[in-house]
Structure 1
Amino acid sequence: MHDVAAAAGVSVKTVSNVVNDYPHIRPATREKVQRAIDELGYRMNLSARNLRQGRTGIIGLALPELSLPYFAELADSVIRAAEDRGLVVLIEQTSADRQHELDVLTSERRQLTDGLIFSPLELGPDDADALKVPYPIVVLGERIFGGDWDHVTMNNVDGARAATQHLIDRGRRRIAVIGAHAGEAMGSAALRVLGYQTALAANGIPFDPDLVIEGGLWHRATGADCVERVIASGVEFDAVFGLNDALALGAMHALHAHRIDVPGTVAVVGFDDIEDAAYASPTLTTISPGREQIAATAIDVLMARIAGDTEPFRRVIADFSLIERESTAP
């Protein structure tokens, strides 16, 4: 920095103001300093700057399971958004285990990070006190609402309602919903089933509990098993709403195995718009929940808290859209 100052004929403080993008600098001075920076190949020592500011430049991202395509693609979106803002992401997998989720919040690794983006699957409202941590945190998902933390999530109810309405608009009346979680009062499964029920009611279609098929973790194998069970039960259905794309893709595999035409006999819709959805056969109609918006918003909110923002805690619901593809073609 002293070399740049000497080459530009300015003070070291002026060089510091330029590289830190201080706004009140004359354009001619900024240009002169930037030219010296380019000629000398100067690069800011980010480690030294972060140490002075009491920061590491690293944020944590704790996700349930990277083998689930949605979370893998979400991690990719977060990493790219962080890189655009000069941050590094430390990823931790909790394996959808309650104790692992609690351990992430108190881990010594938190000393390495300036803040945490956290997506719990097993914690619930009774665990709200665990999220009262002494560092910036942004919570994703639907497990815990209304606490003293920032929350970025997707519109599960309206997205599921739109997916179900799309099937109804295609003339389907016996819509099986797969991947439900019995007894769940809060969470993506409960909210998406609520959206499904809302669409049925709005169209005067009776709710049939036999068409709500329970499943565990939302993998392709779970979706295939759900369809196998509904076929074996003899319950008539003309559409399948997979509560995520992996379930829907597994459902289509099982339907193909039984030589049931998709979408002719059974239409299929998913939720999440993972990359595989666009390359399935047939391609999968799905709800895009605003993954890029979720990632960018979570990063920006976390950065603001790291910088000392004391505004009231935010709850941001991302926009969604219906992506129509071949699995529901008329």
Structure 2
Amino acid sequence: MASTLHDVARLAGVSIKTVSNVINDYPHIRPATREKVEQAIAETGYRPNRAARLLRSGRTGLISLVMPDLRNVYFAELADDVMTAAAAHGLSVLIEQIRADQGPAGELEVVEAAIQRGVDGVLYSVLALRDEDVAELRRAPVPLVLLGERIFGGPTDHVTMQNVEAARAATEHLIERGSTRIAALGAHEGEVIGSAGLRLRGYREALEAAGLPFDERLVPPGGTWFRSDGARLMRQILDSGVEFDAVFAFNDAVALGAMRVLQEAGLRVPHDVRIIGFDDLDETRYTMPTLSTIDPGRRLIAETAVEFLVERINAGEGGPAPREVEVPFRVVERESTAIG
């Protein structure tokens, strides 16, 4: 039979209330008493009924992560980082996906569905939501923390990466190695606020600072940032005959698709064309050649967002004013941009 609180209390020589206080991490317990209880728990094999504890507290121990398509490997790895960070707080994660074709209204429906599952809070990686939709977020009955680039100065905490600064650093990395004709793959026509628009801005800022001209022929718009998009855009540039000596791809998947097409065309990376991506996916360490990239601080984004959410869950109606956090990034140099 499973051991009980009574068994632990009897073996430790303390009251059931003391055992309960130790299990619930009550702060005012003498170290010697805590040690006796923990030893008794280990010897009896007692396992607290987590479901009952959560029921008494009015919580589920679940948070929801609402994010774009998990076929984009960045979001799959971000989800893994979020689950790891949540587990450290004793939380489990339910994942809801947003489709690119749903639009703002459909996106809000996904968030609402996540809330209806009875979660304690929501991490929401905004895809298409606009500033005018922010009022809907204020009505959320549970704490909510935003990820991504779409909403700044919103009604709650927002954790994101330094898209403009990191893209500028990636482009400068190529310029410092002698590249002067740099293609940029992954731009979205007319986009300003999203990741593509911000990374294009960083690319243009680096060119301007270096006195290099912006050539629209080197920035073909398009794509959903999969490998197939990188391959298609690279073929488009090659077919056009425009000269280039480097590529800044707006994510690693686009970079990998482009690198395959460059190699098929007989161009050597990095000898003929240097290439750098963005995201620092795990697979970039094992490509041939290994891919230089931007580490945008994905793990820190996950950890910070979870910490903010847990803080708001515990604070109830209170809590700090909304916070905006852009985590630090770093340029990761590998073989695809190596000198010599």
Q: Aligned partners of 2:241 and 2:249: how far apart in 1? A: 19
User: Once the 2 structures are TM-superposed, how far is the Cα of residue 109 of structure 1 from its aligned partner?
Assistant: 5.2
Aligned to 1:317: 326
Count of residue correspondences? 330
Aligned partner of 1:2 in structure 2 is 6
Matches within 5 A, 1:155-170: 155-170=162-177
CA distance in 2, matches of 1:198, 1:105: 35
What does 1:1-330 align with in structure 2 at a 5 Å threshold? 1-96=5-100, 97-98=102-103, 99-107=105-113, 110-132=116-138, 133-308=140-315, 310-330=319-339
Aligned amino acid, residue 34 of structure 2: R
Q: What's the CA shift for 1:6?
A: 2.6
Offset at 1:150?
Answer: 0.9
Shift of 1:108: 6.2
Residue identity over aligned pairs, in percent, reads 55
Please say which of residues 299-308 and 1-10 is displaced more in the overlay.
Answer: 1-10
Letter in 2 for 1:261: R
What's the TM-score, normalizing by structure 2? Answer: 0.94
**How many Å separate the matches in 1 of 2:114 and 2:64?**
12
Distance in 1 between residues matched to 2:207 and 2:299, nearest whole Å: 30
| AA partner of residue 310 (structure 1) | G
Alignment partners' CA distance in 1, 2:114 and 2:321: 28
Alignment gaps of 5+ in structure 2:
none
Give the TM-score taking structure 1 as reference length. 0.96
CA-to-partner distance for each residue in 1:206-238, whole Å, 9 max, x for gaps? 222222221120000001111111122222111
SS of residue paired to 1:180 = coil
**How far apart are the structure 2 equivalents of 1:314 and 1:83?**
23
Whole-Å Cα distance in 1 between the matches of residues 183 and 262 of structure 2? 13
Q: What RMSD over aligned residues (CA atoms) do the two structures have, in Å? A: 1.3
CA distance, structure 2, for counterparts of residue 76 and residue 28 of structure 1: 38
Unaligned runs of 5+ in 1: none
Matched-pair contact (CA < 8 Å) for 2:115–2:142 = no
Distance in 1 (CA, whole Å) between partners of 2:218 and 2:68 is 28
Q: Does the residue aligned with 2:294 lie in a helix, a strand or coil? A: strand
